[in-house]
Amino acid sequence: MQAKLLGVGHLLLRSGCRALATTVFRSHLPDVQYPTEISYPAYLLEACDRFADRTAVVCSASGRRISYADLRAATVAASSGLAKLRFARGDTMCIFSGNFPDYPAAMLAIMRCGGVLTTASPDFTASELARQLRDCRTKFLLTTKDKLPVAAEAAKASGVVKEVFLTEDSEPGTRRFADLFEDDGSCDPSGSFQVDQANDVAAILYSSGTTGLPKGVMLTHRNLVANIEQTLETMGDLPDERLIGVLPFYHVYGQVVVLGFNFRRGYQLSVMSRFEPVRFLETLQKHRITLAHIVPPILLFLAGHPLVDKFDLSTLRRVFCGAAPLKAETEDSFRRRFPHAKRGSAGMLVPSVEMRVADTQTGADLGPNQSGQLLVRGVNLMRGYFENPQATRESIDADGWFATGDVGHIDEDGYLFISDRLKELIKVKGLQVAPAELEALLLECPDVTDAGVVARPDERAGELPVAFVVRREGSLASEADIQRWVAERVAPHKRLEGGVRFIDAVPKAASGKILRKRLRDVLAEEAAATAAAGEQN
């Protein structure tokens, strides 16, 4: 098996990078040239015309194939059908589901009406979904039959949803979205308005809420078009590329880097509803996948599971792993199984993106190999947070620099390394402790299979690190055992003085990011219970 492991981070990247005298880092590649007067759906449908006879989508479960001509026809028909239902420019529609073959056509049809797409994790509870629907004033909601109970409850609770659609099925109180693909196109909305590419919002995608409530990230048509052009420039164009669509399309990684890139290049995308180990391997082998975008848990599976050796994955040329930290041990295991893999950082800056590294205490600019908060600016940067001007002002300054909250550095060769999240840094007696560092260390412990670290308030130290640990099967390690093991390997201020909690699973978003807020909620509940017990005594 010959695959090249490439890094993907907030800024994914591959070209050379240079530090200017002003300590602004830029790509060595020239700025991307992108069409400035075209909407995002028109941009992708333009590619459908060029590759009309090629296969755009293959369903990994049923084998159903959708050509680029079919994708275009379905998008145009559905946009007309939506327009007949009075879905118009500025209206919002949510797709609440796992991946399915017609997801791209539904997504593009929404935007082609001048509408705004928002997407939600199929794992959301009714209350989580209702909050998002209400926050962005969702008019229409598209879901699958298995998610209808949650969707119906959320739609009712939101007070804003007017219609609920099912992808294929028909149930009382819903419309069948597949019927829109049969529309005669007589109410085609594309000529009824002119898209303002720089300012019109195409999508509102929500942050994962790792540090607080999710926020709606507004992406304009220009953001999306430019981001695809950046991706095309940095990933190159190899012949006969075939991708696997296993990452969730509701996430920006799956929606832009997988879907958008694939369609603009005219490649074939094999769509999986979600990650299932055997079907994933079967799809890689049967569809002769050459490029896979994945997250660390899937890479861990590829690196260590005995099932992998039973499949022929020789066509797999490139693997991009991103969205969450990748521990060195996992990468090493992957490289042993895929001996031609190349170790990478988070990559190098893409064209048309600038970066600064700022001291976390003073805000002063830093140079190569100096660690600080990463600030970025570029044409792909979001317009702001939906109806949250305060959060927008706190994140993007007057000069357009976005404070990512990521802590990292750029080395002398232009490679970017991300070490932690600024908002998640634990302050012990004024000294910084990176949760990711302790988590990576804990994963080396023979008694631990997974871990998440957060801060617990402490009167004397300010904060203390607490580890939530999943013990390896059969392990009898105690809290003291884990604390002692860590203490032997770190400076005193990094020790787990806040304690160790044993749990069945570390809560994570679909991207693999640890949902630290949920861990902090556990500590808050503990503190509240302790306080209540003290009052009773």
Sheet holding 175-176: strands in order across?
A: 175-176, 163-166, 138-143, 92-96, 116-120, 201-206, 216-220, 384-385
Q: Round to the nearest angstrom and report the end-to-end CA distance of the chain.
A: 65
Q: Residue 189 — φ and ψ, nearest 5°?
A: -85, -5
| Domain boundary pick from 194, 228, 256 | 194
Burial of residue 74 (number of CB atoms within 10 Å: 0-12, 13-18, 19+): buried
Show the low-confidence residues of the chain (pLDDT under 50): 1-2, 4-16, 18-21
Instruction: Output the DSSP codes for 414-430.
Output: S-EEEEEEGGG-EEETT
How many structural domains compose the chain? 2
Q: Which residue has the tokens 């895929």?
A: 338
SS3 502: strand
- d(CA 528, CA 457) in angstroms, rounded, equals 13
| Confidence (pLDDT) at 28 | 80
The number of beta carbons lying within 10 Å of the beta carbon of residue 419 is 14
Domain-located, residue 109: yes
Burial 115-149 (b: 16+ CB within 10 A, else e): bbbbbbbbebebebbbbbbebbbbbbbbbbeebbe
SS3 43: helix
- d(CA 338, CA 331) in angstroms, rounded, equals 10
| Domain boundary pick from 194, 229, 253 | 194
| Confidence (pLDDT) at 19 | 46
- d(CA 155, CA 406) in angstroms, rounded, equals 35
CB 251 within 8 A of CB 293: no
- d(CA 313, CA 309) in angstroms, rounded, equals 9
Domain-located, residue 199: no
Domain-located, residue 467: yes
Domain-located, residue 275: no
- d(CA 448, CA 455) in angstroms, rounded, equals 20
Token digits of residue 441: 């260390």
CATH classification at residue 502 = 3.30.300.30
SS3 39: coil
Instruction: Give the helix ranges, DSSP H, for 266-366.
Output: 277-286, 296-304, 328-337
| Confidence (pLDDT) at 1 | 45
Distances (CA, A) of 33 to 46, 222, 437: 16, 12, 39
Instruction: Output the DSSP codes for 106-157.
Output: HHHHHHHTT-EEEEE-TT--HHHHHHHHHHTTEEEEEE-GGGHHHHHHHHHH
Q: Which residue has the tokens 């660690």?
A: 371
- d(CA 196, CA 175) in angstroms, rounded, equals 31
CATH classification at residue 143 = 3.40.50.980
Domain-located, residue 145: yes
Above pLDDT 90, what percent of the chain? 68
Domain-located, residue 496: yes
Distances (CA, A) of 137 to 192, 209, 485: 23, 19, 50
| Domain boundary pick from 194, 219, 239 | 194
| Confidence (pLDDT) at 344 | 54
Could you list the residue range(s) of the whole structural domain that residue 72 is in? 68-194
Rounded to two decimals, the pTM is 0.81
| Confidence (pLDDT) at 274 | 92
**Phi-psi group of 477: left, alpha or beta (phi > 0 → left; psi -120 to 50 → alpha; rest → beta):** beta
| Confidence (pLDDT) at 341 | 54
Token digits of residue 289: 């996948």
Instruction: List pLDDT tens digits, range 246-303.
Output: 999 998 999 999 999 999 999 999 999 999 999 999 999 999 999 999 987 888 899 9
Domain-located, residue 20: no
- d(CA 72, CA 254) in angstroms, rounded, equals 20
Strand partners, 218: 204, 384
Domain-located, residue 27: no
